[in-house]
Amino acid sequence: PCNLTGWWENDLGSKMQVFKVGNDGTFSGEYHTAVSSARKPIQPSPLIGSQHLDEDGQCTFGFTVNWKKFSDSTAVFVGQCFRGGDGNEVLHTSWSLREKVDSESDDWKATR
């Protein structure tokens, strides 16, 4: 099965470290983003998630990153782990980011 434990890096240079995946599929770690529109310096941010433990090893998973150390936003990621032709594990994800806005009328621009 796919083992999410360890370091992962995406195409933009952001890195994620998953500390340990529990027997129930829950995990925690840190996300080190390489991109941000925040004015404060980027800092590693906590993540918490859950992995669906499939016997075929190509599991689905999801996690939330709270950017509380440098931004007023939260992101959620969902994805699936694949074993590539070279035998290495590859994660494919989609994400949604919610930024804090000052009023309900600005809600339209808060989610990417």
In terms of Cα–Cα distance, which of 27, 18, 33, 22 is closest to 74? 33
For the chain, which residues make up each domain, given as ranges? 6-99
Task: Supply the pLDDT for residue 71.
Answer: 85
Span between the terminal Cα atoms of the chain, in Å: 32
Question: Is 54 in contact with 68 (CB distance < 8 Å)?
Answer: no
Tokens of 111: 């989610």
d(CA 89, CA 98) in angstroms, rounded, equals 29
Give me the CATH code for the 6-99 domain, please.
Answer: 2.40.128.30
Q: What is the pTM of this model?
A: 0.86
Task: Supply the pLDDT for residue 91.
Answer: 93
pLDDT mean over 11-34: 93
The per-residue pLDDT for range 38-78, each reduced to its tens digit, is 777 788 999 999 999 877 767 899 999 999 888 889 999 99
